[in-house]
Structure 1
Amino acid sequence: MNQPTRNSIDDLPIRTELRGKSPYGAPQLDVPVRLNTNENPYPLPEPLVARIAERVREAAYDLNRYPDRDAVELRTRLAEYLSKTGRYPVSRENVWAANGSNEVIQQLLQAFGGPGRTALGFEPSYSMHSLIARGTGTAWISGPRTPEFTLDPEAAARAIAEHRPDVVFVTTPNNPTGNAVPAETVLALYEAAQAAKPSMVVVDEAYIEFSHGDSLLPLLQGRPHLVVSRTMSKAFGAAGLRLGYLAADPAVVDAVQLVRLPYHLSAVTQATALAALEHTDTLLGYVDQLKAERDRLVTELRAAGYEVTESDANFVQFGRFEDAHAVWEAFLERGVLVRDNGVPGRLRVSTGTPHENDAFLDAARALMKDQGV
């Protein structure tokens, strides 16, 4: 019996800007040490798991009803967390939550981007910014970084003045390079964005809890076109939860509600996130351990002879390699999965447990000794 022919995506009447593109994703391979997706390596503590079960059980009795459409309790607790840790008081009206920070970004681009509008980001940076822009019909513009992967305020401001984007993305700490952006630079870019035309500036702080410095949340004061985006995937060890949120002027929260899907956050998601927020102090204790391990990776990689980018995230970019993918494969042969995400001559390793980091460093030293990578 003849097998039916499998059609290609290009056989479909797909939008022109999506043709030839690849979906976002990192290899999911069964290896002893997986350090390629910036996950928190520590499982949730047993008391929190028990509390999640309690809250989800309570929510289950009402699953025949739609969840709280506006996630009032969750947004209130997120505002309390931000006010406590971010050195700037925010209220529920300043906060919006969605299914991961990616949906937050998508909603922002649906509200402020779209056909005939543009978004600008400084690459290399988080590749989902450009992918989501493309998915919302927003034209993407790549702005400049220095050879050290930092932002030159004057060059970045010139790019904004030249292109007059509707949305500007600033990722700090930056993924995949790990370096942070000073508050003074963000202020300069915000002013440039307002001078060109009133534009939204989105500060993506997915990794801010791992930073040596502070959140840029206080910059929201008096800046109605500034947004700070966050996630519970990293610091809260809840990548499987898919909960992201933003802080901004209440008018921005009103705007994204125009494009959010009805009842977009399930009752189970809200219950789980609320349970995690009850255990903030414990979870941030794991963050302190990961920050110490991250700094150890930087020190040991440099001692082994690698070039390492300064990191304020829970990962480290290192190199420099003539063939980064070949080195990625060499690590994989030694049972260690790191990330090759296209930055020329560099690889990225997530911070794992001390045992996982030891295995990675052993492989890194062996490669340097055996192959002089």
Structure 2
Amino acid sequence: MDPRTTVEAMLRPDLRGRTAYGAPQLEVPVALNTNENSYPVPAVVVDAIAAAVREAAAGLNRYPDREFTALRRALAAYLSRSGTRVTAEQVWAGNGSNEVLLHLLQAFGGPGRTALGFTPAYSMHPIITTTTGTTWLDGMRGVEGHGAFDLDAASAVRQVVEHRPDVVFLCSPNNPTGTALGLDVVEAVHDAAPEALVVVDEAYEEFARPGTPSALTLLAGRPRLVVTRTMSKAFALAGGRLGYLAADPAVTEALRLVRMPYHLSTPTQAVALAALAHADLMLETVDVIKEQRDRVVAELGALGFEPVPSDANFVLFGHLADARATWQALLDRGVLVRDVGIPHYLRVTAGTPDETTRFLEAVAALAPTPTGAAP
């Protein structure tokens, strides 16, 4: 190789010119841009985590439990609380749900295979897809006579039949729109793609409004269906980096072929187990966050904006003349929200009551009336 060859020239062709994922990490009074839980881990749980890590530390000379057996059992027990029985053999976990998604694509994607998602949706889906050499197919949302961000069974099936993907991503509640899917959409997509793995990303499921169903209820008899979750949001454990999934045991067995040895460290397993042992306490803030989310929707609507009704811990709002200028104006007032790249829209996380007040006051001070047109 010519010693003058640049790193850019050596990079895989499909990665050249791409931009790495990265939400701004800025020191601001009110950070509402990454859908974190604004409430700190309760002191009781902090003590339990510290004790668990301390106990585990004496054995750090040994590799961690490669099968993370106790953690899989605890996650299965937590999921089974919803009324749908999940066994430890159905559970897989990784360092955040992104690693879990990576494992799925390493096992079921790859060169010559395709993954279909319905955008706008979670921006990491196409990024992770590309890193595995899988071809990303950009499906579209929007239902005539309904919201611009809705996805119905007929539209989803039509796109699945057209593209015949190897992996299909469904996001419910969807990020960045906050909209949830009916189980009819999941069932229809699953049936229309008999050779595809169907992945339902439920990272925000704990924040869903009453009556919003989980795809966990569809797992029985559907070995190609996968439901992914995370402890980053409702469990306020974003720094713990623990994501997981439930699926047929054949899927979790396949993921063992692609995971790195001992991929979940002993401290990671200890932290997650301590948090799960206090699940009720960790989830106490969920209802408060949902109240603030609904408050944001109501008050933004009263201000003349166009908030999208949400089943997540965030709200996408539109009718902005210039989303980027609005983002900067809010930042100048000490409030950091997310520009998700949708013209005339921004996304804000539902935080504490005080954070919500700060955000709403900042928005109200920007302009008399928003003038942008919705897409």
Normalising by structure 2, what TM-score?
Answer: 0.94
Q: Using the TM superposition, name which of 8-17 and 32-41 deviates more.
A: 8-17
1:105 aligns with 2:104: no
Q: Hey, what's the Cα distance between the residues in 2 that align with 1:283 and 1:64? A: 31
Aligned residue type for 1:254: E
1:128 corresponds in structure 2 to 124
Corresponding residue to 2:34 among 33, 37, 55:
37
Tell me the SS of whatever aligns to 1:349.
Answer: strand
Question: In the TM superposition, what whole-angstrom CA distance separates every residue of 1:25-51 from its partner, at most 9, and x where no partner exists?
Answer: 111111111100000000001000000
1:72-111 counterparts in 2 under 5 A? 72-85=69-82, 87-111=83-107
2:264 corresponds in structure 1 to 265
1:233–1:243: 8 Å Cα contact kept in structure 2? Answer: yes
Tell me the SS of whatever aligns to 2:368.
Answer: helix
Shift of 1:266: 0.1
Aligned residue type for 2:12: R
Tell me the SS of whatever aligns to 2:81.
Answer: helix
How many residue pairs get aligned? The number is 363
Q: Hey, what's the Cα distance between the residues in 2 that align with 1:10 and 1:372? A: 45
Q: Using the TM superposition, name which of 27-36 and 236-245 deviates more.
A: 27-36
1:200 aligns with 2:197: yes
Shift of 1:129: 0.5
Tell me the SS of whatever aligns to 2:162.
Answer: helix
Aligned residue type for 2:104: L
1:178 aligns with 2:174: no
Shift of 1:312: 0.3
1:138 aligns with 2:134: yes
Q: Name structure 2 gaps, 5 residues minimum.
A: none
1:229–1:244: 8 Å Cα contact kept in structure 2? Answer: yes
Q: Hey, what's the Cα distance between the residues in 2 that align with 1:372 and 1:200? A: 42
2:164 corresponds in structure 1 to 164
Tell me the SS of whatever aligns to 2:187.
Answer: helix
Aligned residue type for 2:68: A
Q: Hey, what's the Cα distance between the residues in 2 that align with 1:9 and 1:367? A: 46
Shift of 1:369: 2.1
1:52 corresponds in structure 2 to 49
Q: Hey, what's the Cα distance between the residues in 1 that align with 2:5 and 2:235? A: 39
Change (3 A) 1:8 1:241: farther
Tell me the SS of whatever aligns to 1:119.
Answer: strand
1:221 aligns with 2:217: no
Aligned residue type for 1:114: G
Q: Hey, what's the Cα distance between the residues in 2 that align with 1:23 and 1:13? A: 17
1:328-367 counterparts in 2 under 5 A? 328-367=327-366
Tell me the SS of whatever aligns to 1:316.
Answer: strand
Shift of 1:371: 7.0
Shift of 1:11: 3.1
Q: Name structure 1 gaps, 5 residues minimum.
A: 1-6
1:208–1:215: 8 Å Cα contact kept in structure 2? Answer: yes
Aligned residue type for 1:112: F
Aligned-residue CA RMSD (Å): 1.4
Q: Hey, what's the Cα distance between the residues in 1 that align with 2:104 and 2:200? A: 12
Q: Hey, what's the Cα distance between the residues in 2 that align with 1:200 and 1:34? A: 36
1:268-287 counterparts in 2 under 5 A? 268-287=267-286
1:247 corresponds in structure 2 to 246
Aligned residue type for 2:339: D
Aligned residue type for 1:290: I
1:230 corresponds in structure 2 to 229
Shift of 1:110: 0.3
Aligned residue type for 1:253: T
Q: Hey, what's the Cα distance between the residues in 1 that align with 2:182 and 2:234? A: 21
Tell me the SS of whatever aligns to 1:121.
Answer: strand
Question: In the TM superposition, what whole-angstrom CA distance separates every residue of 1:134-191 from its partner, at most 9, and x where no partner exists?
Answer: 0000000011100520103212111111111000000000000100011111111111
